[in-house]
Structure 1
Amino acid sequence: MPSFSNKCQKNKIQGTVVLMFKNDLHLNIHHAGISGALRGLLNTIFRHAVDDLTALFHKQVSLSLVSATKSDENGNGKIGKESYLENHLPTFPTLGARQKAFNIHFEYDADFGIPGAFYVRNHKHTEFFLVSLTLEDIPNHGTIHFICNSWVYNYKNYKKDRIFFTNNVFLPNKTPASLVKYREEELENLRGDGTGERKEYERIYDYDVYNDLGNPDRGEEYCRPILGGSSTYPYPRRVRTGRKHTGDKDLKSETPAEETYVPRDENFGLLKSSNFLIYKIKSLGQNLLPLLESLISHHEFHSFEEVRQLYEGGIKLPTNMLSKIAHLPALKEILRTDGENVLKFPPPQATKVSKSAWMTDEEFAREMLAGVNPCVIRRLREFPPQSTLDATIYGDQNSEVSKQELEINLDGLTVEEALNANRLFILDYHDTFMPYLERINKIAKAYATRTFLFLMDDGKLKPLAIELSLPRPSEDQHGAVSKVILPALEGVESTIWLLAKAHVIVNDSCYHQLISHWLNTHAVIEPFSIATNRHLSVLHPINKLLHPHYRDTININGLARHGLINAGGIIEKSFLPGPNSVEMSSAVYKNWVFTDQALPADLVKRGLAIEDPSSPYGLNLVIKDYPYAVDGLEIWDAIKTWVQDYVSLYYASDEAVQKDSELQAWWKEAVERGHEDLKDKPWWPKMQSIQELIQCCSIIIWTASALHAAVNFGQYPYGGYILNRPTLSRKLIPEKGTEEYDEMVKNPQKAYLGTITPKYKTLVDLSVIEILSRHASDEVYLGQRDNPNWTSDSRALKVFKKFGSKLAEIEGKIHERNKDSSLSNRVGPVELPYTLLAPSSTEGLTFRGIPNSISI
């Protein structure tokens, strides 16, 4: 027997177990509407209970080591004797909030070999969160780390005991023979058998269609189409819950539930502050919306100044409402009430310097390049623009804008000359909205819009015209009825121009929220997360690469289906498409292309870049001062380089990729089940080469991190000022000779406010997007990991450190570019420097920071 250090007892291996207790009592207190005194008393009782629990806990949790190098008679790794937690270590260093450490010792002899896994049994009725196990001074080996981060329930809940593996990595065919069975069994556990209703304690990842958005049993107005599983409504898949279907009205819709199942390790309770942000959204939907409706005595803003009072004075509370809030303590933080005023929102960054800069044409155009939705504008390649809608169904939907109308503001150029010089651009929402306008305009009043822009010599974009289109009346032929609005600086024409811009921004706001944000990041990533958990073992290097980029995504998506995008949810209440909202994103998903999600491919497809192998990143930007693209290409290149460096550590040839059984099963299922409705598209990579693996992983990481950051964390800084980014339009532009036209002439502000989002829905919008735009205190950003021991491979740690250094360098460049006065699009009239793709951030509303994952 080799000699042991002083950290090991004779024939013993010493370990340290770190875990967190389930804070049941605290959760109940937090949710309950009880007095502060009683809450304080219960919290005191709870703290004493936790102390007692800590003292007894070690007697009820056991661990058994599994050898990675020595096998039993069946060829499987030897399983050691069961050991129990010992004394609590109250002064253990580097523990996170609420974490507790315990000693444990395992019997050991030379015939056991090197531990590669361990089983854990929880003999208590209450679950706990297992953070890690560290084994010290393993003879002839040293320290071994097990990164767990998993809820562990009473062992009787599991068909097989819970197993955890070391932070080593092995391709399937290089797995130590003694661990092969355990590796395969754990993946089988995570896949489940596809039957039954999921239970809270389960960790099963399976697929289902979006059949849980509607609630037919509540009435026809709550019916929604099933998204996914048909060519009519294709959609990415979500995690299967197995809940029962609704009654006789719709046998395919899933019965809504108070809590939506997500695999247990996807939901941290309130252990993570990001989950507290999620909890706040849930409280908002369940409690705040009814309260807001009763708070608002009138539903219209009467002036721009009244809108600004939301940030300067808040809303005066009626006396009878004070007691209601007092009994809903969970709302106090959201409402920020001082007992008199409520909902005093923080000033949006876009208004901190100037209260009127949002109205300028320069800012209107600049936000297409550096705002919250900078990934839709495209270069105009033909004139007039042609619709892609089926003419046999929709008639002629091509643009009716004339060359003469554009050439008024083309600085002496013809349309042909501007096209040939790559100086004409368009923000085109016509084909997205036109098929839904008849339905939308039964509950609102909106146009399908096209906005034409010109790239000036100074690098700024200048709006040329806005085309507003409506469907022809049903008794007429199919097609569009369009009007063209030209820029104006004074008189009634300037008011009409401002209203036309508002209609464009309403289109943009809704497309942003439903497609650029929800569909193109949240929804499309979930299937990859499901497939990764089902087919890539935690021992697989690609699991180690991708897993941080799925953190909290399934959880936040479940919440979204429960209260944000569901029938009657917050999005339907406050955004233009109403009950058509998610269905519209399904129509766009039909044309979603995975490979186009790579930023260089996206820029080329939109005509914002031209391929050039001799240039950095292999392309040239058509608009040199395009903040999202300039910063984004640097981040994209850093991600791809990191992925390439990492992948090259484990795959020496294309053949190694082809023979990786877990990798092939992962990709096949992600395509054929996760994105089943598009599985036959020819553009899917075949996963037959190292380069395809690098491409796919880079796209997944970019989408989950940088793309989501770019379209999410600017929501409140720009959209928090509803005048700048309205989400709803309620009136069409008045026609000359009507009473509405005369009123518009008399009071332009009232006409604008009467067109856009009303007061109550503004408060709903602002309450939601403020939460969505905040960073949690424990957020993990791109280039960071939540545990320094995430892998035992020193080579991987080295290239990851290189990645972090590159991101820090990029952040410095972004800071310097924002100080360059020649780059006008980076700051603009609102004087808000573009920092959404600066990698790091602090907690809160910062307008910067790239989290690893879609965690809010």
Structure 2
Amino acid sequence: MGSEFLLFPTFWVQEYNVESENDLGCIFWVNLDKEIFIVEDSWFCCYVMVRTPLGESLIFPCYRWLCEKEIISVREGSAKRPFDDTLPDFQLHRLNELQERRNLYRWKVWNPGTTKCIKAESEKDLHLDVKYDGERQLDFNKSLNLSMADLFLTRLVNMIENSWDSLESFRRIFCRVKSDVGVYVSNHWMEDWFFGYQCKNGCNPCLVERCREIPKNFPVTNAMVWPSLKGSTLEQEIQKRNIYIIDYKILDGTQGNVISGKQQYVVAPICLLFQDPQNRLMPIAIQLRQQPGPNNPIFLPSDPENLWLLAKIWVRSSDFQLHQVLYHLCATHLLGEVCSVATLRQLPAVHPVFKLLIPHTRYTLEINTRARIDLLGESGIFARVIASGGPGLLSVTQKACQALTYRSMCLPDNLLDRDVEDLKDYFYRDDALLIWSAISKYIKNLMGLYYTSDQNVVEDVELQAWLKDLVQEGLSEIPLYDWPVDFHSREEMNKFLTMVIFICSAQHAAVNNGQYDWSCWVPNTPCTMREPPPTSKAVPSMEEIMDTLPDISQSAVQMAISWHLGRPLPKQISLGTFEEMYFIEPEAIKVQTAFQQELKEIEKRIEERNSGLELKYQYLQPSKIESSISI
């Protein structure tokens, strides 16, 4: 009998007719290999379709590269749990696939006290299956230099230690900015209400929390904040749930970078904020170091304008450091990489959880491998321009990884612990909860097709091995605190899977996509501070503020790298876009379609909300959320 095999390479479709004298019966997998022809020419196979003489079509999802001397064995596309495969041949197929992947994808300790990563010295060591495609690779390699040229920054990079002469002089590199939000920032960054707005809806919306009592190391008195509270007291406003706080204690003790022989400075501020009757979040007290004392004054809005402005700039610079290291690098990129490696090592392609998660691992291993060299390496961007780079980076990263508790990674728990349900106009919270809920519902309905009881979850040895590898290996360098090491129920599994997909898509979008918007006006979010923080209430001159802010070279690099990392990407695959057909069952496809419809409704809801806002919050519109961490 004859069967027709359809192979879908990168740019075209090739059909093969395979004849067999015998009835093939049921076809459970196909083997694919490609011989070298003159030169190595790898092919990318999306899937194989087998059409039998009876008109039946069988789909074998692949989505892998065919390389010389490599045979790929692809199972038929129906999702199978390990206990569904009772025949020895099927069990052996699963074991062989996992053994092959465990040889390809190995754990490595990047830095002691941080999450583990993929064993690769550079992106060249990665298998083709997890690398950028040609278009993405070309775009990434060229975009930083293109941004320097497009923003007219190239000539400024060598102007090391040259200070700007005034705040207005920053507009010399700002004139070609293509960001409506960035322009808005440049016009409002000095205003107190806007400082508070960024704590809610800026590039780092995850630190603000309700203040239940004034910390002992932050001796703010009623007399200090009486003008800001319009005659009320701290005790009264705390009782009314109107007092909030941001605390950068993780940065305490961080050794500042040394750039071109000049010391840079990092502080660990505490900032108190008041939600006023107009629902604005207003800063009312700032202490730049953790330990109170005569050389660590509390700065107030009633202080002279330049002094209060400098205190806020110091907080914003600390926010840049903590945002980049904790909330962006550790809580999305590094944790997403741990999930990606565990998925590749422990779940065969036929497993339903592999099919669920693999779209959310796309390109993560390559971008992180590149980042460890280009951004975090000895000659990377952090070492060149960022205050917490150089010798302080390891200690900050270690402290940040210690903060990766399971509750902090689960959005509803995180918001509950920060007690921010009464925080007004907190668009990140509102939109993130919509996305979390949609993902949770999607996973519950999809996994419900394959796990009909808690016992199914308990007995899935591959699923349990995945969780153990993720937590006990990937997170073995950090305290595990509340991280689960096994699943006892569908509810536990579904929540964990929701967390994984959320951080690999929506959470990354929330802390990544606005980098250029909020950092292109450099004084708003300085990557470094070049003079020590004030130790008294002596009023600084504008020249002294300019000498503290990033120099011309550092400003140019900050603008370019924030554009490079936060820009829209070519061929972006948005959350809910299923270009790769891993699930083939009609019931599963129906669940995916319902998920897509819910995301469209969320998109419409956000757009309607934004239509009435002067400054729109768009980072969590589903169409702007990439389904994986790829930049």
- Which bracket does the TM-score occupy, shorter chain normalised? over 0.9
The C-alpha deviation readout for 1:445-469, integer Å capped at 9, x for no partner, is 3432111101112221111111122
* Aligned counterpart for 1:503 among listed residues 295, 298, 314: 314
Secondary structure of the corresponding residue to residue 263 of structure 2: coil
User: 1:485: how far off?
Assistant: 0.9
Q: Is the radius of gyration larger for structure 1 or structure 2?
A: 1
Tell me, yes or no, if structure 1 residue 455 matches structure 2 residue 238: no
Which residue of structure 2 lines up, in the alignment, with residue 766 of structure 1? 559
Tell me, yes or no, if structure 1 residue 367 matches structure 2 residue 198: yes
Tell me, yes or no, if structure 1 residue 445 matches structure 2 residue 245: no
The C-alpha deviation readout for 1:96-135, integer Å capped at 9, x for no partner, is xxx1221211124663123232212222051413223443
Tell me, yes or no, if structure 1 residue 15 matches structure 2 residue 5: yes
Higher relative contact order (CA closer than 8 Å, sequence separation 6+): 2
Tell me, yes or no, if structure 1 residue 752 matches structure 2 residue 545: yes
Once residues 500 and 432 of structure 2 are traced to their aligned partners in structure 1, the CA distance between those partners, rounded to angstroms, is 15
Tell me, yes or no, if structure 1 residue 595 matches structure 2 residue 402: no
Once residues 559 and 186 of structure 2 are traced to their aligned partners in structure 1, the CA distance between those partners, rounded to angstroms, is 17
CA pair 682-594 structure 1, distance change in 2 beyond 3 A: closer
Partner amino acid, structure 1, of 2:622? P
CA pair 470-439 structure 1, distance change in 2 beyond 3 A: farther
Once residues 297 and 137 of structure 1 are traced to their aligned partners in structure 2, the CA distance between those partners, rounded to angstroms, is 66
Once residues 599 and 680 of structure 1 are traced to their aligned partners in structure 2, the CA distance between those partners, rounded to angstroms, is 18
User: 1:265: how far off?
Assistant: 0.9
Tell me, yes or no, if structure 1 residue 803 matches structure 2 residue 595: yes
User: 1:756: how far off?
Assistant: 1.2
Which residue of structure 2 lines up, in the alignment, with residue 674 of structure 1? 474
List runs of 5+ in structure 1 lacking aligned partners: 1-10, 21-98, 193-203, 211-226, 229-233, 242-255, 313-344, 387-397, 473-478, 609-620, 821-826, 841-848
Partner amino acid, structure 2, of 1:771? H
Alignment of 1:98-497 (within 5 A): 99-108=11-20, 111-124=23-36, 125-140=39-54, 142-155=56-69, 158=70, 161-175=71-85, 177=87, 178-192=89-103, 204-210=104-110, 227-228=111-112, 234-241=113-120, 259-270=123-134, 272-273=135-136, 275-280=137-142, 295-296=158-159, 299-312=162-175, 345-353=176-184, 355-383=186-214, 385-386=215-216, 398-429=217-248, 431-437=249-255, 443-469=263-289, 481-488=295-302, 493-497=304-308
Secondary structure of the corresponding residue to residue 448 of structure 1: coil
CA pair 816-163 structure 1, distance change in 2 beyond 3 A: same
CA pair 671-561 structure 1, distance change in 2 beyond 3 A: same
Once residues 482 and 563 of structure 1 are traced to their aligned partners in structure 2, the CA distance between those partners, rounded to angstroms, is 36
List runs of 5+ in structure 2 lacking aligned partners: none
RMSD between aligned residues: 2.8
The C-alpha deviation readout for 1:221-269, integer Å capped at 9, x for no partner, is xxxxxx23xxxxx11110113xxxxxxxxxxxxxx66x55223311134
* Aligned counterpart for 2:618 among listed residues 835, 844, 856: 835
CA pair 670-282 structure 1, distance change in 2 beyond 3 A: farther
Contact 2:174 2:521 in 1 (8 A): no
Tell me, yes or no, if structure 1 residue 574 matches structure 2 residue 375: no
CA pair 235-734 structure 1, distance change in 2 beyond 3 A: closer
Runs of 4+ off more than 6 Å: 281-291, 438-442, 735-738
The C-alpha deviation readout for 1:391-431, integer Å capped at 9, x for no partner, is xxxxxxx22322321233112221111111111111111x2
Which residue of structure 1 lines up, in the alignment, with residue 419 of structure 2? 607
Contact 1:168 1:792 in 2 (8 A): yes
Once residues 735 and 648 of structure 1 are traced to their aligned partners in structure 2, the CA distance between those partners, rounded to angstroms, is 60
Once residues 622 and 735 of structure 1 are traced to their aligned partners in structure 2, the CA distance between those partners, rounded to angstroms, is 35
Once residues 285 and 18 of structure 1 are traced to their aligned partners in structure 2, the CA distance between those partners, rounded to angstroms, is 35
CA pair 751-174 structure 1, distance change in 2 beyond 3 A: same
Which residue of structure 1 lines up, in the alignment, with residue 609 of structure 2? 817
Once residues 328 and 208 of structure 2 are traced to their aligned partners in structure 1, the CA distance between those partners, rounded to angstroms, is 15
Tell me, yes or no, if structure 1 residue 512 matches structure 2 residue 305: no
Contact 2:257 2:387 in 1 (8 A): no
Once residues 606 and 760 of structure 1 are traced to their aligned partners in structure 2, the CA distance between those partners, rounded to angstroms, is 38
Once residues 98 and 517 of structure 2 are traced to their aligned partners in structure 1, the CA distance between those partners, rounded to angstroms, is 43
Partner amino acid, structure 1, of 2:45? V
* Aligned counterpart for 2:357 among listed residues 534, 543, 546: 546
Once residues 227 and 163 of structure 2 are traced to their aligned partners in structure 1, the CA distance between those partners, rounded to angstroms, is 37
The C-alpha deviation readout for 1:36-83, integer Å capped at 9, x for no partner, is xxxxxxxxxxxxxxxxxxxxxxxxxxxxxxxxxxxxxxxxxxxxxxxx
Which residue of structure 2 lines up, in the alignment, with residue 562 of structure 1? 373
Paired residue total: 624
Tell me, yes or no, if structure 1 residue 720 matches structure 2 residue 520: yes
Contact 2:2 2:52 in 1 (8 A): no
Secondary structure of the corresponding residue to residue 359 of structure 1: coil
Contact 2:144 2:561 in 1 (8 A): no
* Aligned counterpart for 2:461 among listed residues 652, 661, 684: 661
User: 1:480: how far off?
Assistant: 8.8
Once residues 835 and 725 of structure 1 are traced to their aligned partners in structure 2, the CA distance between those partners, rounded to angstroms, is 20
Contact 1:437 1:447 in 2 (8 A): no
Which residue of structure 2 lines up, in the alignment, with residue 336 of structure 1? none
Once residues 609 and 313 of structure 2 are traced to their aligned partners in structure 1, the CA distance between those partners, rounded to angstroms, is 30
Tell me, yes or no, if structure 1 residue 642 matches structure 2 residue 425: no
Contact 2:295 2:535 in 1 (8 A): no
Partner amino acid, structure 1, of 2:398? S
Once residues 486 and 213 of structure 2 are traced to their aligned partners in structure 1, the CA distance between those partners, rounded to angstroms, is 34
Contact 1:114 1:138 in 2 (8 A): no
User: 1:153: how far off?
Assistant: 1.9
Secondary structure of the corresponding residue to residue 646 of structure 1: helix
The C-alpha deviation readout for 1:338-391, integer Å capped at 9, x for no partner, is xxxxxxx433323435742121111111011111100011111112x14xxxxx
Secondary structure of the corresponding residue to residue 238 of structure 1: strand
CA pair 554-286 structure 1, distance change in 2 beyond 3 A: farther
The C-alpha deviation readout for 1:801-834, integer Å capped at 9, x for no partner, is 11111111011111111234xxxxxx4xxx4300
CA pair 679-650 structure 1, distance change in 2 beyond 3 A: farther
Given the two structures, how large is their TM-score scaled by the length of structure 1? Answer: 0.69
User: 1:527: how far off?
Assistant: 1.3
User: 1:290: how far off?
Assistant: 12
Contact 1:170 1:540 in 2 (8 A): yes
Secondary structure of the corresponding residue to residue 412 of structure 1: coil
Once residues 457 and 110 of structure 1 are traced to their aligned partners in structure 2, the CA distance between those partners, rounded to angstroms, is 81
CA pair 737-114 structure 1, distance change in 2 beyond 3 A: closer
Partner amino acid, structure 1, of 2:197? R
Partner amino acid, structure 1, of 2:412? P
Which residue of structure 1 lines up, in the alignment, with residue 576 of structure 2? 783
Once residues 238 and 565 of structure 1 are traced to their aligned partners in structure 2, the CA distance between those partners, rounded to angstroms, is 14
Once residues 188 and 286 of structure 1 are traced to their aligned partners in structure 2, the CA distance between those partners, rounded to angstroms, is 45
User: 1:535: how far off?
Assistant: 1.0
Contact 1:266 1:552 in 2 (8 A): yes
User: 1:653: how far off?
Assistant: 0.9
Given the two structures, how large is their TM-score scaled by the length of structure 2? Answer: 0.92
Partner amino acid, structure 2, of 1:799? V
